[in-house]
Chain A
Amino acid sequence: MNIGEILKNLWNDSGFHLFGGDSGWQSIVMIVIALFLLYLGIKKKFEPLLLVGIAFGMLLTNLPGSGLFHSEYWTGADAVAKGVNYLDVLQHGGLLDILYIGVKTGVYPCLIFMGVGAMTDFGPMLSRPSSLILGAAAQGGIYLVLILAAATGMFTGGEAASISIIAGADGPTAIFLTKTLAPQLLAPIAVAAYSYMALIPLLQPPFMKLLTTKKERMAVMTSTRKVSKKEKIIFPILVTIVVSLLLPSVAPLLGSLMFGNLLKECGVTERLSDTAQNALMNIVTLFLGISVGATAVGATFLTTKTLLIIVLGLAGFVLATVCGLLIGKLLYVISKGKINPLIGSAGVSAVPMAARVSNTVGLQYNKGNYLLMHAMGPNVAGVIGSAVAAGFLLAVFGA
């Protein structure tokens, strides 16, 4: 073998040469999209903890010849017909294939929920149980998007359900549902969900101002009853039993969320609570982001369906906000002005972003009227609501 042949072989094996292949242009477009998402994550700070990982996973998977991720293991004809061959993945898969096992088996979203539970204070919701109504109302966005997705006539039931859950503004829940019902759409759905969550401070205020009067926005909410430690300990146990018995398909997500919360509230597992909130959460976020990004392969990502998912996701966030606000207005009337309808928009479960937006808009009209703690009630109720909605969709389409 002469030097010329060696150099030729090196060139033929290089990614630059492979760009000239049939799907080369798709890889180039995907790399440009990945660089744009990296820009959004790093420069614009759009959910950077996940978006940077997703974008980098997208970059790695679209470098021709790298062999880090093989979509055929997960969504190929054999995988669909016979199920995923995990032994084959472990023996011959790339790094991102192995990391993706955590997404496919639903382990990562549940572990993230455990961390979220350990960071969440359900106190504001317990002190004002009517917050749960607002948390339920905002889930209307999910079902309205289900109808819209069906109206396009382009999506199967599982795909429409996975797209609709974007409106729940809850990344782990969206990933958990999509990996089961429509794994081929995981990347666009995850990117849409996390991007729109970052845009909540821009998306929600115009609708909050449009749908409420100045008088309603100025409504002052009085402080609520003090919640005892025992109530906070009983709550996660009670929710796990009641909701898991009513809707068993939601048990992995909600069980993890409530377990994390119990670790925080019981007061005797501070080390575990600290690990769930920090070390574990960070590790899983790393793996989740990069492996979800890896599913964004040009052939499946660059389709009209992706564009529709982006549009439907945006519609979902808006509709969820509107549903929450309308029920908020109803509660304002029923309570004779004691509930500020602005906290209704916090029913979408982007914690704590949506609650902060309610607080900011409230302060614009009434200085000193801090709505943050009141908005945290519907906000955390929204997490439970979106998990319940996902459980229902899983029960219907995952059976």
Chain B
Amino acid sequence: MSGFVLSAILDKEAPLKALDALLLALIGIVIVFIVLIALMLLVSLVGKIFDGSEKLQAKHPEWGEKIAAFKAKMMFWKKSKPEEEQPEAEEAKQLAAGTCGELTLINCEERDAAMIMAIVADSLNTPLNELRFKSIKRVEE
């Protein structure tokens, strides 16, 4: 079997044989699956670690307080920003990442906003880059 693969790799000028291609295709698709399944397992693992730490914090609120106290202690060492800069920083927090600074999200997550914008573009049959959204606000029922 390895003879087929070798002929495909070594003889670069000759046409690829169907049998060589079949064997390479099998190896190739297996490799793609192995790499992506490895990524899937890693992504799941990282997700579980993060979910687990959140659950642990919910179970032991005193740990959360200790972490908050530690963070506050660390903040002491950081140089505080001038007061006049703070309102601007607050405003910047309201803006969605990646915008030109025009889209304001009010009680709305980026993920939901992205979905809303895509749906609007789809409904209007207009490319997303031709639409301008100024703000997206969650309406409380």
Contact = CB atoms under 8 A, between A and B. Distances in A.
A121 interface: yes
Chain A interface: which size bin?
Answer: 35 or more
Given A150-B21, A274-B98, A356-B122, A388 B50 contact: no
B36 A246 contact: no
A227 interface: yes
A9 B50 CA distance: 76
Contact of B42 (A158, A238, A277): A238
A149 B50 contact: no
A242 B39 contact: yes
Interface residues of B, number: 46
Nearest to B7: A157
Given A135-B36, A372-B115, A140 B29 contact: yes
B69 interface: no
B31 interface: yes
A239 interface: yes
Contacts of B39: 129, 132, 239, 242-243, 384
Nearest to A238: B42
Interface string B6-45: 0011001111111011101111110111011111111110
B73 interface: no
Given A154-B15, A273-B98, A385-B36, A228 B28 contact: no
A158 B12 contact: yes
Interface string A4-22: 0000000000000000000
Given A123-B111, A129-B47, A136 B36 contact: yes
A235 B35 contact: no
B46 interface: yes
Contacts of B9: 157, 396-397, 399
A226 B16 CA distance: 47
B114 interface: yes
Contact of B13 (A132, A156, A270, A385): A156
10 contacts: A129-B40, A136-B33, A157-B16, A246-B35, A246-B38, A264-B97, A373-B115, A385-B32, A392-B28, A397-B12
